[in-house]
Amino acid sequence: MPCQGVWLGWDINNPFGRPHLPHWQQTDCRRTAFRYRSNDEGQSQAVLRRVAAPKLTQAVTGAQAVEAAVSRYGKLDILINNAGISLRKRIEDTTEEDWDRIMAVNAKGVFLGTKRAIPAMRQGGGGSIINISSTAGLVGSPYSGASYAATKGAVRLFTKATAIQYAKDGIRANSVHPGLLETPMTEDMLADAAHREERTKRIPLGRIGTAEDIAYGVLYLASDEASFITGSELVIDGGATAQ
């Protein structure tokens, strides 16, 4: 897939982000990766990471992250809003602090990343924004906390609003909706053999997904082949939500 441009990824070191790197390194894209963090006030920070370097090198704000990409490469073409945390508490067990924290990272983080990237993309003639949501943002589930589902539903509709508002600027926005994956976020849950078997039986393709499955979908949405796709939802769940 031709992918010629500069991309910026939030929380590229999380379970979804890490496998993106080898696939992107096979493209012509120039890479600037950032790790998203949220403090107690929900304000965003990012840590600039040189992809070829073994460690994080510089703390920067979100605005500075975009400026760094543009300063280094002259433009910003692709944004991957990949930051996310999980919470599996029932509604009655969820505190206001729980709610505010997950909203700050999963929903506000996408808003801030998008807000800061749009001016640079507009100046460069367009771009592609890819927001990582979840199948929990599409359907209700007994396995996902209500607060988590609310954040992922917010990401889905925020993506559509972004797509409509900025299509005239040549900026595309799409959401990716992973199903159950083998990641550190689900490691404790899937360690239970009976639960793993139960969840696997619910997936028509008969297996739990991997982060690499998601990486290929993200790469497609960022590529030239997806130039007529915006405001859409790419569901990568082995068929689970098709039932």
Closest by alpha carbon to 233, among 169, 164, 160? Answer: 160
What is the C-alpha separation between 34 and 20, in angstroms, rounded?
Answer: 13
Whether residue 148 lies in the annotated active site: yes
DSSP letters, 198-219, are: HHHHTSTTSS-B-HHHHHHHHH
**Chain-centroid distance, C-alpha 137:** 13
Of 36, 73, 143, 148, the active-site residue reads 148
Closest by alpha carbon to 43, among 105, 97, 118, 95? Answer: 105
At 77 the three-state DSSP class reads: coil
Helix 146-166 and helix 96-103, axial crossing angle in degrees, nearest 10: 30
DSSP state of 64: H
What is the C-alpha separation between 142 and 82, in angstroms, rounded?
Answer: 24
- The single-letter code of the amino acid at 166 is Y
CA-CA-CA-CA torsion sign (115, 120, 126, 132) = negative
Catalytic residue numbers, as ranges: 148
